[in-house]
Amino acid sequence: MFKRLTSSIQSIGHGFIEYTWQFGFACRFFILILLKSAVSLRRFGLVMRELYFVGVMSLIIILVSGLFVGMVLGLQGYETLQKFGSETAVGTLVALSLVRELGPVVAALLFASRAGSAITAEIGLMKATEQLAAMGMMAVDPIARIVAPRFWAGVISMPFLAAMFSVMGVFGGYLVTVVYIGVDAGSFWSQMQSNVDFHYDIVNGFIKSCFFGVAVATIAVFQGYDAAPTAEGVSRATTRTVVTSALVILGLDFILTAFMFRGVS
Partner 1 sequence: MSSDALIEINNLNFSYGARPILKGINMSMHRGKVIAIMGGSGSGKTTLLRLISGAVKPSAGYVKFDNQVIHELKRDELFKLRRKMGMQFQFGALFTDLSVFDNVAFQIREHTDLPEPMIRDLVLMKLHAVGLRGAHELMPGELSGGMARRVALARSIALDPALIMYDEPFTGLDPISLSVIGSLIRRLTNALGMTSIIVTHDVQESLKIVDYVYFVADGVIAAEGTPQEVRESVKPFVHQFVHGKEDGPVHFHYPANAYQTDLNLEGKLV
Catalog residues that contact partner 1 under the rule CB under 8 A: 125-126, 129-131, 133-141, 145
Minimum CB–partner distance for residue 69 and partner 1 (Å): 33
Minimum CB–partner distance for residue 140 and partner 1 (Å): 5
Residue 183's alpha-carbon distances to 5, 37, 80, 83, 92, in angstroms, are 62, 50, 14, 14, 13
Residue 97 · residue 196 · CB < 8 Å: no
Minimum CB–partner distance for residue 61 and partner 1 (Å): 22
Q: For residue 235, give every residue at least 6 positions away whose Cβ sits within 8 Å of its Cβ, in sequence order, or none.
A: none
Cβ distance to partner 1 smaller for residue 50 or 226: 50
Cβ distance to partner 1 smaller for residue 56 or 243: 56
Closest alpha carbon to 98 in 69, 76, 75: 69
Cβ distance to partner 1 smaller for residue 135 or 181: 135
Name the maximum alpha-carbon separation found in the chain. Answer: 71
Rounded to 5°, the CA angle 146-143-231 comes to 65
Q: Is 58 exposed, middle or buried (0-12, 13-18, 19+ CB in 10 A)?
A: buried
User: End-to-end CA distance of the chain, in Å?
Assistant: 56
Cβ distance to partner 1 smaller for residue 134 or 255: 134
Minimum CB–partner distance for residue 149 and partner 1 (Å): 12
Cβ distance to partner 1 smaller for residue 150 or 240: 150
Minimum CB–partner distance for residue 136 and partner 1 (Å): 7
